[in-house]
């Protein structure tokens, strides 16, 4: 994670996150599972579009297909509660999808990237995005330096043999 995300996590906390903190629409995406495209990309089946591409490489295909803005229905327009619930919603979705990715039986490690940043006309509206990419040998990764993201808080979640619900310092 970058410094901005570390600061946000100190304020928000992620203890006790469960899958039901994700929206039903995003949980349905997870339920549809994963697949490997002809180009070797690991994508969430429900997000796969047709016709595919063109993509410059497998990672480009993955972040393009898998990337989504997190819905903010039912959240306050601003403030700490919005930050907390939006981040927890993203981590719940990302963690659920990473657990489901185990069914691929792939040697390619899939990571979730959660980002929160301010936008809107006055740069005062907090939004969030989640995408998933694999670590493919010989292919430039989605993110090489998390600290290079200076205007957003970004977190990389990976499966390490345990559910990725609790986010700890890395």
What is the phi-psi region of residue 33: left when phi exceeds 0, alpha when psi lies from -120 to 50, beta otherwise?
Answer: left
What is the phi-psi region of residue 40: left when phi exceeds 0, alpha when psi lies from -120 to 50, beta otherwise?
Answer: left
The DSSP element (H or E) to which 8 belongs, if any, is: helix 3-12
Q: What is the DSSP letter of 140?
A: -
pLDDT in tens, the chain (170 residues): 999 999 999 888 788 899 999 999 999 999 999 999 999 999 999 999 877 778 999 999 999 999 999 998 889 988 899 999 999 999 999 999 999 998 888 789 999 999 999 987 677 789 999 999 999 999 999 999 999 998 999 999 987 655 554 454 43
Tokens 């657990």 map to which residue? Answer: 99
Question: What three-state secondary structure class fits 130?
Answer: strand
For 64, the token pair is 């393009």
What is the sign, positive or negative, of the torsion defined by CA atoms of 41, 47, 50, 53?
negative
pLDDT at 168: 44
Could you give the CA distance from residue 66 to residue 78 in angstroms, rounded to a whole number? Answer: 26
**pTM (2 d.p.):** 0.91
**Beta-bridge mates of residue 129:** 69, 115
């Amino acid at each position: 994670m970058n410094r901005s995300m570390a600061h946000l996590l100190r304020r928000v906390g992620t203890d006790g996150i469960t899958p039901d903190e994700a929206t039903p629409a995003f949980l349905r995406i997870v339920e549809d599972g994963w697949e490997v495209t002809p180009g070797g990309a690991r994508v969430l089946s429900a997000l796969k579009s047709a016709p595919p591409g063109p993509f410059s490489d497998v990672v480009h295909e993955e972040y393009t297909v898998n990337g989504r803005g997190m819905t903010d229905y039912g959240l306050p327009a601003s403030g700490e509660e919005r930050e907390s619930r939006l981040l927890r919603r993203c981590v719940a979705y990302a963690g659920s999808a990473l657990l489901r990715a185990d069914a691929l039986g792939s040697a390619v490690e899939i990571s979730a990237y959660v980002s929160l940043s301010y936008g809107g006309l006055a740069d005062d509206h907090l939004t969030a995005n989640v995408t998933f990419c694999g670590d493919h040998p010989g292919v430039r990764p989605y993110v090489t330096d998390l600290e290079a993201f200076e205007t957003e808080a970004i977190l990389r979640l990976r499966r390490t043999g345990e559910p990725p619900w609790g986010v700890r310092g890395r």
